[in-house]
């Protein structure tokens, strides 16, 4: 497993190499999706066995990826 951001790791053998919470098989996209759906952090932490710091790390990682993205609007 390779750490790519604080608390975020990738491993080709885990979730097809998608970013996950370090030490788990919980995809970052699942955590961010749960926050977006309005689930409370308590619900998310309990459901996936992660911590508030893991949730913050997932959101920070998603934000950093979006910062790198360039979207060109059609002319």
Report pLDDT for 59: 98
Q: Would residue 58 count as lying in a domain?
A: yes
Count of structural domains, the chain: 1
Residue 36's CATH number = 1.10.10.10
Confidence of residue 15 (pLDDT cuts 50, 70, 90): very high
**Distance between CA atoms of 50 and 47, rounded to whole angstroms?**
8
Instruction: Compute φ and ψ for 20, nearest 5 degrees.
Output: -130, 165
Report pLDDT for 19: 98
What pLDDT, in 10s, does the model give residues 34-68? 999 999 999 999 999 999 999 999 999 999 999 99
The model carries a pTM of 0.92
Continuous H helices in the chain = 28-36, 41-48, 52-68
Report pLDDT for 75: 80
Q: Would residue 45 count as lying in a domain?
A: yes
- Cα–Cα distances in angstroms (integers) from residue 60 to residues 6, 19, 22, 72, in the given order: 9, 13, 14, 23
The mean predicted confidence, pLDDT, of the chain is: 97
Q: Would residue 75 count as lying in a domain?
A: no
């Amino acid at each position: 497993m390779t750490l790519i951001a604080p608390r975020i790791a990738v491993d080709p053998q885990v979730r097809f190499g998608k970013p996950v919470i370090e030490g788990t098989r919980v995809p970052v996209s699942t955590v961010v999706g749960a926050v977006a759906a309005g689930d409370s952090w308590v619900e998310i932490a309990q459901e996936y066995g992660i911590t508030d710091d893991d949730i913050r790390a997932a959101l920070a990682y998603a934000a950093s990826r979006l910062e790198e993205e360039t979207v060109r609007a059609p002319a």
